[in-house]
């Protein structure tokens, strides 16, 4: 079962190297958290930050190539991440889908690359405002899951981030009831289409304007196992507070 809340930050394309190092140094001074903590950082900072990060902090990538290796200028493979001991990556973030044309077919390949190279994927899914207004939310989520995961993946592990696109970077958060309903839907889909064990072992994170004000009520919901946090992960004090919230909920659940 998912006993530990996961607080995951996503820096996106922010920070200089010096700013990144100062952030990790400031974070290193806090007591070892009871919750799990992960930071998805730009590729070029992976190695320098991994070298100075405390053991409890997972440094993750924000993307990987759908290809194994070869003539794909500018791409970074899952195998390259493995070779520098990076053990997790975001896949299919809505900004990748929206601005870089990533389709479910490409995301499926990326997932397989991650699985084959022991890189734990955080698969990002979520509906747009138009889709929600047209009552297509469940249909879209089901399609995003069904096009990339099959029963053959039952022995793999991944996390899922449910991030309604209309809530990302907009300051508008899904209510805890709206988020819980979708997390429950995702849990049931995994249970019915992959396996019950798989569903129980998969953490489902909420993302979309998650911050120090709303994290506690969101993370307290039964099918919300933590958050993928963009804007509020850029400031170290706010990230520390999110970790404290993650600790509180982890302690409550155990």
In the set 27, 46, 158, 229, which binds ligand PGA (CB under 6 A)? 229
In the set 210, 215, 224, 245, which binds ligand PGA (CB under 6 A)? 210
Nearest distance from C-beta of residue 168 to ligand PGA, angstroms: 4
Question: Is 1 exposed, middle or buried (CB count within 10 Å of its CB: 0-12, 13-18, 19+)?
Answer: exposed
In the set 33, 208, 226, 246, which binds ligand PGA (CB under 6 A)? 208
Question: What stretches of 152-235 show up as alpha helix (H) in DSSP?
Answer: 176-193, 196-201, 215-219
Decide: is 207 part of the binding site for ligand PGA (CB under 6 A): yes
- Neighbouring C-beta atoms of residue 14, cutoff 10 Å: 14
CA distance 15 to 150: 37
Nearest distance from C-beta of residue 208 to ligand PGA, angstroms: 5
For the chain, what percentages of helix, strand and coil (3-state, to nearest 5) are there?
45, 15, 40
Decide: is 41 part of the binding site for ligand PGA (CB under 6 A): no
Active site residue 29: no
- For ligand PGA, the closer CB: 24 or 218: 218
Decide: is 33 part of the binding site for ligand PGA (CB under 6 A): no
- For ligand PGA, the closer CB: 46 or 167: 167
Decide: is 205 part of the binding site for ligand PGA (CB under 6 A): no
Question: What stretches of the chain show up as alpha helix (H) in DSSP?
Answer: 17-28, 46-52, 78-83, 94-99, 104-116, 129-133, 137-146, 176-193, 196-201, 215-219, 236-253
Residues lying near ligand PGA in the complex (CB under 6 A) are found at 10, 163, 168-169, 207-210, 228-232
List the catalytic residues.
93, 163
């Amino acid at each position: 079962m998912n006993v530990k809340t996961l607080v995951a930050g996503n820096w996106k394309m922010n920070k200089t190297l010096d700013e990144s190092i100062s952030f990790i140094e400031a974070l290193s001074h806090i007591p070892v958290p009871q919750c799990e903590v992960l930071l998805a950082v730009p590729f070029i900072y992976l190695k320098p930050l991994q070298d100075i990060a405390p053991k409890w902090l997972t440094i993750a990538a924000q993307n990987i190539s759908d290809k194994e290796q070869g003539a794909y200028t500018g791409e970074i493979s899952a195998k390259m991440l493995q070779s520098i001991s990076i053990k997790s990556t975001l896949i299919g973030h809505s900004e990748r889908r929206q601005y870089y044309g990533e389709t479910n077919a490409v995301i499926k390949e990326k997932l397989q690359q991650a699985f084959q190279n022991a890189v734990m994927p955080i698969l990002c899914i979520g509906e747009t405002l138009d889709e929600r207004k047209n009552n297509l939310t469940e249909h879209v989520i089901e399609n995003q899951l069904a096009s990339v995961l099959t029963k053959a993946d039952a022995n793999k592990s991944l996390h899922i981030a449910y991030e309604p696109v209309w809530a990302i970077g907009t300051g508008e958060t899904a209510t805890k009831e709206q988020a819980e309903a979708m997390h429950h839907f995702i849990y049931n889909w995994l249970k019915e289409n992959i396996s019950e064990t798989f569903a129980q072992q998969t953490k489902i994170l909420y993302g979309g304007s998650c911050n120090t004000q709303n994290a506690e009520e969101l993370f307290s919901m039964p099918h919300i196992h933590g958050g993928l946090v963009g804007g509020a992960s850029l400031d170290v004090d706010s990230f520390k507070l999110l970790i404290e919230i993650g600790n509180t909920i982890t302690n409550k659940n155990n």
